[in-house]
Amino acid sequence: MLRKITAFSLLLLVSFSLNASEESKSSKIEKASIEVKDGTARMLVNGNPLAPDMLFVNLHDRPNPVNTALMSLEIADAAKRGVNIITFTIGFPWSREGEKVDYSSEVDRWIDLVLAVNPDAMLIPRIQTTYVPFWWQKANPDEMGLLSNGQSSKHASIHSRKWRSDVSKGLKDLVAHIERKYGSHVLGYHPSGQNTGEWFSESLHGGVLSSLEPGAVTAFRDFLSEKYKSDEALSKAWGVENLLINEANPPSKEERLKKAPGSLRAFPSERNVADFLEFRNMEMADSLLTTTSAIKESAPNKLVLVFYGYHMELNCGSGLQESGHLGLGKVMNSKSVDILCSPVTYFERYGGGSGSFMSPLDSAPLHGKMRLMEDDLRTHLSPDDSYEVKANRHRKARDMAETEGILARNMGRYIAHGTGVWWMDLWGEGWYRGDELWTFLGKLRDAHLDSMSKTRTKPEIAVFLDERSHYILNAFPEAQRTLLYKFRDDIARCGAPVAFYLLDDLLDGRVAPAKLNLLPDSYSMDQERLEKFTKVSSKSSSSFIFFWAPGVEKNGLVDYQNIASFCGIKVNALESGKGGGKIIFSDASQNPYDAGHGSLGPSFAVEDKNAVALASYTDNSGIALASLKNGNARFIYSGIMKLPPDFLRKIAEDSGVHIYNRQNDVISAGHGYISLHATEDGERKIFLPVRRALKNVLNDTVYPAAKEFSFHMKKGDTILLKELNEENGK
């Protein structure tokens, strides 16, 4: 039954299954669910809490044949440390009408392999849904995606209603089979699709466009009919007389790839492009939800996981607006999704880096969901001739010390934000193999499990990200790359915990303002949203930082005068080439700063006699940064795309935020734990808001109660500290 498994492999399977950990014997999984309590999402099995720590092994989707013996060893290593949740790839056989599907070779053999190693394993099969069988492609050529380079996509079109119908039936049949045969072991299902299985547009990184297939035209017209209701409304919005919905066409490749003049599109003449971008993102979300709904219908008591919402990562190629990942609000409102997944960023992920997040992960619990992080670190155990090294994709950690520092930093962040994690050996090369590494991972897991019983202290700094604002940007916008992708690293080094939400969660009252609030991409504010924000901010004594062009688009029109209506500070557009990212602060103690971008087309300068200047452009084109009291709140306008950690720290302190570290180290705090990841060699300091004893969970050192702690560390080291009761040290 277990094909391609050698006799030696079988011996290993039996040996390790007999010696699997007795720590957590699983009972029959009757119901798996997510419960949100005190703002934190927790995983439950049969009503009992379960640590959301997992191992991913690549059994089916790989560049080389599966090394079953090595994968078996990793599964056994995990079991010995109490990690029994195994997520893994399986095949997805489709059959023609009237034919019986054979699941034995692509599905059953991989499930049997995992259970042979660890009979207590709780399974989350990953199912690639948009790689359709060759016979289906041949029979339905117009249902496949078409790219702007003239090539056919490897995936079914996100606009194909036939694919949606066929994949739903196929998934229902597959899940019904797995539930009948293995249901007592199955924790959930992970449908994947499109680029790398992560539901974003194919070839996005290379600036190649998707959705040029015929089905996109019909689906776009359906979208316009639902949005505008009448031909007259569409004609007015697009500025085209006598336009009929059933004759409206998608924008051309040239319109979608427009770079200039400026970063902002002109309305109403380019409203067709904005509508198409919104349409594509909603179609991607709907395609994803087609798969989750089919699975949930067949297995209503199991978890459903999806990749989605890479708001701060997919700022590449032709822009986030072309990614398909701007439907997170829609996905989070669906009852068919329980867990949203994303990797740790591929920017600044190694020792000394921030290890930032891709998504507004703290919104998930507000919608009853959990966030689960993919930790696909290429550990020091990755072979030198690995697929990754040969492809020149990502380097591996240099040694065990760097591996430990990165994994502990990441776990500190998972604990603080209340997320789950799977440790991932992407190509089945032994990245997570051996007692030494799993002894260390066991310590991280113990801390994670302990943190689940503790209440999260709400971070005093929040970042609010907006989905709809990106539809008004031209292709390849500098604003996204600097403000969302790179700025994360500076935010992570500001010395205090930070939460990340969707802006709509603030506007709709699901979360209150923090003491300091950053609104990096709030460009589109219609009258209803503006009134909601005014209501929220007028009751607040918090600080709000707005970037570049806040509120510039209102009710379908782009007007620079709209900026003052939103952020309260009057600005003027600068001439082309003026402004840019270089500033000098009014406070002489702050060093001149270069945000790393040029003129934003346009850049803006503050011209408001009531505002206090905080910094000016170095080219003498005007005030780049200014502050204004707005009732009890403080509004700050920034004309540059990112701000240095020391300036953020100063504004945070002025806003009443407690600062844990002043050395630009990476701090996480929450659920009873504090972590510090050193960005430089030397003595690193942590300042607590109250006296507290601490315990280093990585080496069991206990530090007597104090408010200030010092640690000698090397760049890339992490210290993970449990907060203890001052009186009894427990």
- DSSP class per residue in 613-667: EEEEETTSS-EEEEEEEETTEEEEEESSS---HHHHHHHHHHTTPPPS-SSS-EE
Selection from 677, 656, 692, 696 nearest residue 459 by Cα: 656
Selection from 672, 53, 676, 57 nearest residue 419 by Cα: 53
Predicted local confidence at residue 67, as pLDDT: 82
In the numeric block, which tokens belong to residue 591? 């060093």
Residue the block writes with tokens 């179609």: 283
Q: Is the dihedral of CA 495, 500, 506, 507 positive or negative?
A: positive
- Alpha carbon distances (Å) from 418 to 36, 126, 231, 587: 10, 23, 47, 38
| Spatial separation of the C-alpha atoms in residues 4 and 32, rounded to whole Å | 32
Our CA angle for 476, 274, 267, nearest 5°, is: 100
Q: Residues, the chain, total?
A: 730
For 165, phi then psi, to 5°, come to: -65, -45
For 251, phi then psi, to 5°, come to: -65, 160
Q: How many CA atoms lie within 13 A of 222 on its CB side?
A: 11
| Spatial separation of the C-alpha atoms in residues 83 and 96, rounded to whole Å | 39
Residues 35-46: tens digit of each pLDDT: 999 999 999 999
List, in order, residues 6 or more apart from 623 with CB less than 8 Å away: 605, 606, 607, 611, 613, 615, 616, 617, 639
Percent of the chain with pLDDT over 90: 85
| 3-class secondary structure, 414 | helix
Our CA angle for 604, 608, 613, nearest 5°, is: 80
Sheet containing 718-724: give its strands across. Answer: 666-670, 673-677, 718-724, 682-696, 702-713
**Do 191 and 295 form a contact (C-beta atoms < 8 A)?**
yes
Strands 498-502 and 122-128: unpaired
DSSP 582: E
Q: Which spans in 340-399 are helix H?
A: 387-390
- Alpha carbon distances (Å) from 604 to 517, 579, 582, 593, 626: 21, 7, 13, 17, 12
Predicted local confidence at residue 15, as pLDDT: 46
Selection from 155, 145, 269 nearest residue 209 by Cα: 145
- Alpha carbon distances (Å) from 146 to 30, 160, 253: 42, 12, 12
pLDDT lower than 70: segments of the chain: 1-26, 61-65, 387, 389-392, 726-730
In the numeric block, which tokens belong to residue 558? 């782009």
Predicted local confidence at residue 6, as pLDDT: 42
Burial class (CB in 10 A: 0-12, 13-18, 19+), 18: exposed
* pTM score over 0.85: yes
**Do 308 and 358 form a contact (C-beta atoms < 8 A)?**
no
- Alpha carbon distances (Å) from 550 to 56, 126, 585, 641, 667: 41, 40, 22, 12, 29
For 572, phi then psi, to 5°, come to: -125, 145
Predicted local confidence at residue 384, as pLDDT: 86
In the numeric block, which tokens belong to residue 143? 């249902």
Selection from 544, 588, 599, 590 nearest residue 569 by Cα: 544
| 3-class secondary structure, 123 | strand
| Spatial separation of the C-alpha atoms in residues 29 and 31, rounded to whole Å | 6
> Residue 673 pairs with which residues in a beta bridge?
670, 722
Q: Which spans in 61-203 are helix H?
A: 68-80, 109-117, 134-139, 161-182
Burial class (CB in 10 A: 0-12, 13-18, 19+), 717: buried
Q: Is the dihedral of CA 275, 518, 371, 195 positive or negative?
A: positive
Rg (CA), the chain: 26
